[in-house]
Amino acid sequence: MDAIRVRGARQLKGNIRVGGAKNAALPILCATLLSDGESLLRNVPGLRDIETTADLLRTLGRDLTVDIPEVRVKQTSRPVVPEAPYELVRQMRASVLVLGPLVARYGKAKVSLPGGCQIGARPVDQHLLGLEALGAKIAVEHGFIVAEAPRLRGAEVVFDMPTVTGTENLMMAAALAKGRTTLVNCAREPEVEELGRVLNKMGARVEGAGTSIIHIQGADELEPFDHAIIADRIEAGTFMAAVGAAGGDVLLEHAPLDDLEPVIVKLRRVGMEIEREGEHARVRRLGRLVATDVATSPHPGFPTDMQAQFMALMCVASGRSVVTETVFENRFMHVPELGRMGARIEAHNNIAIVEGVPRLSGASVMATDLRASASLVIAGLVADDETIVRRVYHLDRGYEAIEKKLAGAGADVTRIKLESEEA
């Protein structure tokens, strides 16, 4: 099984290119179900989650040509079977994003209850309540969500909390519903805004995507589209944190600085310099980092998807930092692993208190979820000797060739094969 080996104590220097946003590409791939004809997605990252979504769309009856960074999705002569099996959905929670398009377009959807990163209960009740408000009949049977509606009708949906994929599922469903839908208390993430742009290209009328209230005028039919995906703010933020750990000076190509404002504010506060250079970002560490507190919250707050990477930085900052996770319970699975590398962290429920130490020490550690894995690679960059990060399939879900990108900027990071079953 693959692992990532990191030898620390080398500064990063050079260029790193930021790829397309995973969390934008996934709903946009699912949106292809809303129309016939051929859609073209550009700037798609080469990730396992993209492959899983491609397999899911093929299982449903679409023809996909994946030639990264491009993906073409075509209808086939086979009828669409609106059923998403457990085998695929369990690999990736975002598979639930086919639910809205399938019921809107085909009148029926049967989607296995999701799996994905084990970071808390992560229910989908808001997706289901929303679809019910649009007129779908919903049942949960034998581990599957079954939704049916001859034609969805526009309605008002008020979410109990902002949910990213919940908002996206409802936007896609409403795009083919009869009449006007208003979604209230929506997630405001840039990826939601991006989906709004695509649905508008397809012929729906979406207003307010990226704000907490979205209006959607449904269409009877939607058109295929050609779209280049926005850059991945979390990948960019992860490389910024890598520079914070290793030190150095990196030009992050195509870093979406505007989408990363809450992260950049914190990184500057702890002692990093981040400057716009045309469409790129120059990232430097000025001296030893200083501790600061951080609390995650929905966009435009500090993203939960950057919490683990930021905590890795705080492990080597001077002083004490309090890291509070408010979006997901159980998202501190990196804490014991960072502890094995010499970090001093005490975690209680959703609060971690980190006492910075000058250096970490390399160890064999286990990736437990996507962003936790990235935090261990970052910690490895500032650790003595060698760090082996196991279970890299988590990393491969959301980072395209992270070892090559870091090595291209001078880090000693390689993918190795481990013999043992325990890998």
Angle at CA of residue 174, ends 169 and 179, nearest 5°: 170
Chain-centre distance for alpha carbon 67: 21
The β-bridge relationship of strands 83-84 and 248-253 is unpaired
Distance CA 170, CA 113 (A): 17
Closest CB 123 distance from ligand UD1, rounded Å:
4
DSSP state of 387: E
| Smaller CB separation from ligand UD1, 8 or 303 | 303
The two tokens of residue 323 are 């890291």
Q: How many residues sit close enough to ligand UD1 to count as binding (CB under 6 A)?
A: 24
Closest CB 190 distance from ligand UD1, rounded Å:
11
Q: Among residue numbers 5 through 24, which ones bind ligand UD1 (CB under 6 A)?
A: 23
Distance CA 187, CA 54 (A): 25
Closest CB 227 distance from ligand UD1, rounded Å:
17
Which candidate, 187, 188, 144, 196, places its Cα nearest to that of 166? 187
Beta strands in 131-290 (DSSP E): 137-141, 144-148, 156-158, 180-184, 205-207, 213-217, 226-228, 248-253, 272-277, 280-285
Closest CB 197 distance from ligand UD1, rounded Å:
16
Verify binding: residue 396, ligand UD1, rule CB under 6 A.
no
Closest CB 97 distance from ligand UD1, rounded Å:
7
- Considering the candidates 30, 117, 186, 315, report the single residue annotated as catalytic: 117
| Smaller CB separation from ligand UD1, 14 or 300 | 300
Q: Among residue numbers 86 through 105, which ones bind ligand UD1 (CB under 6 A)?
A: 93-94
| Smaller CB separation from ligand UD1, 337 or 369 | 369
Among 39, 53, 165, 368, interactor with ligand UD1 by CB under 6 A: 165
Verify binding: residue 166, ligand UD1, rule CB under 6 A.
yes
- How much of the chain is helix, strand and coil, in % rounded to 5? 35, 30, 35
| Smaller CB separation from ligand UD1, 176 or 372 | 372
Over the window 110 to 129, marking each residue x when it contacts ligand UD1 by CB under 6 A and - when it does not, the resulting string is ----------xxxxxxxx--
390, 3 contact by CB (below 8 A):
yes
Distance CA 251, CA 19 (A): 14
| Smaller CB separation from ligand UD1, 280 or 397 | 397
Closest CB 410 distance from ligand UD1, rounded Å:
29
Distance CA 136, CA 130 (A): 9
Q: Among residue numbers 22 through 61, which ones bind ligand UD1 (CB under 6 A)?
A: 23, 26
Verify binding: residue 260, ligand UD1, rule CB under 6 A.
no
Residue pointed to by tokens 């997706």? 127
| Smaller CB separation from ligand UD1, 123 or 358 | 123
Q: How far is CA 142 from CA 112, 187, 293, in A?
A: 9, 30, 44
- In degrees rounded to 5, what are phi and psi of residue 7? -105, 120
Task: Answer yes or no: 117 catalytic.
Answer: yes
Verify binding: residue 394, ligand UD1, rule CB under 6 A.
no
Among 305, 369, 400, 403, interactor with ligand UD1 by CB under 6 A: 305
Verify binding: residue 327, ligand UD1, rule CB under 6 A.
yes
Active site residues: 117
Residues forming contacts to ligand UD1 in the complex (CB under 6 A) are 23, 26, 93-94, 120-127, 161, 163-166, 187, 191, 303-305, 327-328
